[in-house]
Structure 1
Amino acid sequence: MKKWLPVACLLLSGYAGAQDNLIDQKLQRCLNRESSTVGMSQCYDAANKAWDQEMNNQYNQMMKKLTGAPKAKLKSAQRAWLAYRDSWLDASKSYFSANQGTMAMLSLGAQGVDLVRNQALMLQSINKGSCANPDDC
């Protein structure tokens, strides 16, 4: 149990930093405004698209900077992450659809946003050269 505490703190600190992001602020305002499952799902879809664009921006910046093996490794890692994301969401869809009914679409929307946000922030941390300082991530 003790070995998971630092990991949990790191994840929570990253999430707290992400809450200051304009994309997440817009998502929160949208969710506060909506009362239907369909409306909230649209909020998650918009946030997912915005985070996906940010992730792609960070990735493209890195690809312009890198050459040789580092560039090939980043490309390979991003492709592997995309496969992981799709696989994870497929497994989650299977579980949530069987266990949550209409709330499944919200759970999947939130997970999709979290996955893409985290990848965008990881790419940003590489792009900036550090993730030791929360302001860098």
Structure 2
Amino acid sequence: MRFPVLLLLAVATSTLCTFAQEESEKHPIDSALDNCMDKNPSTHGMIGCLDAAYKKWDAELNKNYKALSANLKADQKAALLAAQRKWIEYRDLEFKAQNAIYATMEGTMYQPMAVSDRVEVIKKRALDLKGYLDLLEIK
């Protein structure tokens, strides 16, 4: 009886620690976005903040891609280049789909939501590339 209780307690503690760690390790771009949105809560202000975050995440993506590429062997670099080209194709199609969906929505709240979805696509790729780079640095 004590083992299941201890196991449940260990899992719950681990989950809480992970959540707390994620909250404390917010990326500086996300922190800047949050601060900007707090200062500019209008639709126009939020769109401006999200546009700035998009540009920063795109720059982060490019920085991570270049750093990763510089640390790869020729065959790895070729694989990364092929994947990046396909990802760009995916990104463009995803943006087209998002635009088609949000074009049918009425109301100003959907404008920042549309920009936020674009930011998330770029952010995910930037973080994926950073994750690969981090793996190489562990070796």
Rg larger for: 2
**Partner amino acid, structure 2, of 1:53:** A
User: Of 42, 47, 51, which residue of structure 1 is paired with 2:48?
Assistant: 42
Q: CA deviation at 1:87?
A: 0.8
**Partner amino acid, structure 2, of 1:31:** M
Matches of 2:87 and 2:23 in 1, distance apart? 22
Within 5 Å, give how 1:25-64 maps onto structure 2. Answer: 25-64=31-70
User: Of 50, 65, 73, which residue of structure 1 is paired with 2:71?
Assistant: 65
Matches of 2:134 and 2:73 in 1, distance apart? 17
Provide the residue aligned with 1:83 in structure 2. Answer: 89
Q: CA deviation at 1:86?
A: 1.4
Q: CA deviation at 1:113?
A: 1.2
Q: Structure 2 unaligned segments of length 5 or more: list them.
A: 1-18
Provide the residue aligned with 1:128 in structure 2. Answer: 134
Q: Say whether 1:105 aligns with 2:95.
A: no
Query: Secondary structure, in 3 states, of the residue corresponding to 2:32?
Result: helix
1:62-89 CA-partner distances (Å, limit 9, x unpaired) = 1111132210110111111111111111
Matches of 2:67 and 2:118 in 1, distance apart? 23
Residues 72/17 of structure 1: CA separation in 2 closer, same or farther (3 Å cut): farther
Q: Structure 1 unaligned segments of length 5 or more: list them.
A: 1-12, 131-135
User: Kindly, what percent of the aligned residue pairs are identical?
Assistant: 32
Query: Secondary structure, in 3 states, of the residue corresponding to 1:115?
Result: helix
Matches of 1:53 and 1:45 in 2, distance apart? 12
Matches of 2:61 and 2:47 in 1, distance apart? 21
Give TM-score, length-normalised by structure 1: 0.77
Give TM-score, length-normalised by structure 2: 0.76
Q: Deviating runs (4+, > 6 A) in structure 1?
A: none
